[in-house]
Amino acid sequence: ARCSGPRWADLQTFLPVLKNTPVGFAGMFYMGVDDLQGVRDGIAQHTEIVKDISSDHTGQRMFYFRDIDGYVIGVNEKAALEASALSKYA
């Protein structure tokens, strides 16, 4: 099955790697880390970085990688998250 609608289109724009991915489970998984660049560099030695470090509309710095099962995982900077309005959800 394929998803549709404006939210799915927004996600495909933000993470183009998902454009042709069928959806069986909808959800996002993020990890907060202290050393974003160091974690990114370590992960890049073992798997595909699908979106490199960038900042979103809230100022969060994050990157995304594909795990060995094909899932896309987000990693964000813990200190930036704690300092933002999004911290109430963390």
Span 35-70, pLDDT tens digits: 999 999 999 999 999 999 998 877 789 999 988 888
Beta-strand pair 72-77/49-55? unpaired
With H, G, I as helix, E, B as strand and everything else as coil, classify residue 50: strand
CB 65, CB 49: distance < 8 Å: yes
pLDDT over threshold 90, residue 25: no
With H, G, I as helix, E, B as strand and everything else as coil, classify residue 63: strand
Q: What pLDDT sits at residue 30?
A: 80
Q: What pLDDT sits at residue 22?
A: 65
Q: Which of 24-28, 75-79, 84-88 has the lowest mean pLDDT?
A: 24-28
Cα separations in angstroms, 83 against 32, 53, 70: 13, 18, 31
- Single pTM value for the model: 0.69
Domains and CATH numbers, the chain: 25-89 (3.30.720.110)
Q: What pLDDT sits at residue 2?
A: 55
Mean pLDDT of the chain: 79
